[in-house]
Structure 1
Amino acid sequence: MADPLLSIRDLRVEYRSGFGPGRRVVRAVDGVSLTIARGETLAVVGESGSGKTTVSRSIFGLTPVRAGRVLLDGLDITRPNRFGRQELSRRVQMVFQDPYTALDPRMTVHDSVAEPLVIAGEYRRDEVIRMLDLVGIGGLAGRRPAALSGGQRQRVVIARALIRRPDLVVLDEPVSALDVSVRAQVLDLIARLQDELGLSYLFVSHDLAVVRHVSDRVAIMQHGRIVEQGGTAEVFDAPKEEYTARLLAAAPTPDPRDRTWLHPVEHVMESADRGI
């Protein structure tokens, strides 16, 4: 891959537990290397404790990196200084799993989305309104989180993450906390915004049906290591590693009568009048 937007090279992350001579060292990530191209969606998949979330947090300098490097457009962001963190927050953002805890209950939708601009000294009301319209909640600017559905809250979280026009968005299980009837709409929104804004995504998930639909490439993690990676169709249809095959075999099979997991756009059209 020529000139990737993000490059993670031989990343090792360790945590220490306990005190004194009995203190243990746990290697949460062990030699992970990944790249993400501009406009691409890379999914990182694994069971709980596989290290996938630790990898995503390393991009933000939030984990104790023991070795390796994280490069954004060729610039080392593994251990950013204060200036580096400010620039990093502009170019890389995260959408968290739970929209119910991601928003300040005292702030209106407008104020939540505007907050990153206010902190950066870049506030423009018209830009906030435009972003709210872009994610489909333009009429909810004055509401607070308690008055919103789960899908609406996640749209607020997405709008806030995109308000400063980042290059890369880390999506950490972005629909797992939502009702099944809402997931397809949010996934469709994420895909549309990628096309319109030229975004790159790191999609962290354990939901293989979702990953197969949204990702260009996939990396399978187990015990802190990547055991297999490649094009999504290639990995899903012809896995080379036994662990990947077992993971795919253990995934729940969708009800063949329910096509919403496979066709989110059609589901959105059918559900448009629900106000979700």
Structure 2
Amino acid sequence: MRLFSAQDVPAVRRSMSWAVGTVTTFCLLVIILGTGAAALVGSRSIIAADPHGRTSVLMLSQVLGGAPSSAGATILYSAVAGMVFITLLSSVAGMTLAAASSLAHDLFAHAARQGRAEPRTEMTVAAWTSVAVGTVAIGLATLVQSWDVGVLTTLAVCIGASAVAPALTYSLFWRGFTRTGLLATLYGGAACAVVLMVFSKAVSGTPSAVFPTADFHWFPMQSTGLVSIPFGYLAGWLGSRLDHRHRAADSRESRLLYEESEERLLAAAE
């Protein structure tokens, strides 16, 4: 959503750089903190407190702070709990603003008004859209508060790796990538990730699943990336090959044009 509201190509690349760096750092920290919690707290204690392990970081802070009743443990626990709250608050606010910006800028100003909307009107729509998106998010969060919705985080990462990453890679490095290939990558990779996740062990079939009492899984993994990422690349390649317009991309004129613009494209030039 943040990419759609960017002004130009350099802004998109800056957004992508921040997104990749943030997600990579987050994944590394999850591995480090999870391993540390399992080693110092113990997996049995973590599962006893919460089968989904959502309190493992807080329990780790208590162990690192010393005795449970000591001042150090209290201060460290409070600091970690405060950082968790601030992180969640900033994430929700960022996603709400990004959704409102995309809806107001793309859907209202460009799709509905054909680019003729006044800036003041667009800002008003964005403000009311923020209220609407926030209200819907609060309602959904209230309805599913007892569910293990952590699977949505895994699904979001899998969709990004299976649909967005292949589309960006092909767009930058393959001159034969066509519009049909782009749509096949985006829809194919996203659909593959969603279908496999719905029928995975993360949704049903295990005590820690979203629906622990049901069992309709046939995909044996918790994450879909091992299958959906290659499928996204394959869909983009196959869609471009089946598209009759890929022949035009192989012509000498198109090849020369691509080679002339490739360096500027990779450098995020205007």
TM-score, L = length of structure 2: 0.24
TM-score, L = length of structure 1: 0.24
Whose RCO is larger (CA < 8 A, sep 6+)? 1
Rg comparison, structure with higher value? 2
Structure having the larger proportion of residues in strand: 1
